[in-house]
Structure 1
Amino acid sequence: MSVGKSYTSAIVGIAIEEDHIDSLHDPIWDYLSDYQRFATDGREEITIQHLVTMTSGLDWAEWGISYGDENNDVIKLWLECDDQIACILDLPLVEKPGTYFNYSGGDMILLGEIVRNATGMDIDDFGGIYLFEPLGIDPPKWNRFDSGVVDSSGSFYQTPREMMNLASPIS
Structure 2
Amino acid sequence: MDFRLNESLGHVRFTPDTLHDVRSISKSVVGLLYGIALADGQVPEPAEPLLGHFPEYPDLGVDRRRAALTVEHALTMTLGLEWNEDAPYTSAANSEVAMELAPDRVRYVLERPVAEEPGVRWSYCGGASALVARLIERGTGAALADYARARLFEPLGITRFEWSTGADGVAMAASGLRLTPRDLLAVGRLVLDGGRDLVPASWLAAALRPHVRVSDDFGYGYHWYVGDTWTGAFGNGGQRLYLDATQDLAVAVLAGQYNQPDQPTAPVVLGEVVLPGVEGTAG
Off by >4 Å, runs of 4+ in structure 1: none
Q: 2:79 aligns with which of 56, 59, 65?
A: 56
Unaligned runs of 5+ in 1: none
Question: How far is 1:165 from its partner?
Answer: 2.0
Deviation at 1:139, TM superposition (A): 6.1
User: Paired residue for 1:110, among 131, 147, 155?
Assistant: 131
Q: Which structure is richer in relative contact order (CA contacts within 8 A, separation 6 or more)?
A: 1
Structure with the bigger percentage of strand: 2
State the match for 1:123 in structure 2.
144
In 1, Cα distance between the equivalents of 2:162 and 2:62?
35
Q: Does 1:36 align with 2:36?
A: no
Amino acid at match of 2:80: G
Shift in alpha-carbon separation, 1:71–1:22, aligned structure 2, 3 A: closer
CA shift at 1:23, angstroms? 1.0
Equivalent-residue separation in structure 2 for 1:82 and 1:53 (angstroms):
25
- Tell whether the 8 Å contact from 1:32 to 1:117 is kept in structure 2 after alignment: no
Query: 1:31/1:138 Cα in 2 relative to 1: closer, same or farther (>3 Å)?
Result: farther
1:20-99 map, 5 Å: 20-41=42-63, 42-62=65-85, 64-79=86-101, 81-99=102-120
- After superposition, the C-alpha distances for 1:94-143 in whole angstroms (9 at most, x for unaligned) are 11111110000000001111111111112222222112222111363212
Match of 1:136 among 157, 160, 167: 157
Q: Helix, strand or coil: the match of 1:113?
A: helix
Indicate the percent of aligned positions where both proteins have the same amino acid.
28
Go from structure 1 to structure 2 and tell me whether the alpha carbon gap of 1:129 and 1:72 turns closer, same or farther (over 3 Å shift): same
Bigger shift: residues 125-134 or 91-100 = 125-134
TM-score (normalised: structure 2): 0.56
> How many residue pairs align between the two structures?
169
Post-superposition offset of 1:31: 2.3
CA–CA separation in structure 2 for the residues paired with 1:10 and 1:90: 26
- The residue aligned with 1:7 is 29
Larger of the two Rg values belongs to structure: 2
Residue 37 of structure 2 aligns with an amino acid whose one-letter code is A
Quick one: distance in 2 between partners of 1:8 and 1:139? 17
Q: CA deviation at 1:55?
A: 0.4
CA pair 139-40 structure 1, distance change in 2 beyond 3 A: farther
What one-letter code is carried by the residue in structure 1 that aligns with 2:185?
A: M
- How far apart in 1 are the matches of 2:107 and 2:97? 15
Task: Give the 3 Å change call, closer, same or farther, for CA 130–66 of structure 1 in structure 2.
Answer: same
The residue type paired with residue 59 of structure 2 is R
How has the CA–CA distance of structure 1 residues 24 and 118 changed in structure 2, closer, same or farther, with 3 Å as cutoff? same
Native 8 Å contact 2:44 2:71 kept in 1: no
Q: Distance in 2 between matches of 1:36 and 1:29?
A: 8
Q: List alignment gaps of at least 5 residues for structure 2.
A: 1-22, 194-247, 249-283
Instruction: Kindly indicate whether residue 166 of structure 2 is the aligned counterpart of residue 145 of structure 1.
Output: yes
8 Å Cα contact 1:109-1:153 kept in structure 2: yes
Give 3-state SS (helix, strand or coil) of 2:151's partner: helix
Q: Distance in 1 between matches of 2:26 and 2:76?
A: 14
Q: Distance in 2 between matches of 1:28 and 1:70?
A: 26
In 2, Cα distance between equivalents of 1:139 and 1:126: 14
Could you tell me how far 1:17 is from its partner in structure 2?
0.9
**AA in 1 matched with 2:66:** R
The answer to whether structure 1 residue 16 and structure 2 residue 28 are counterparts is no
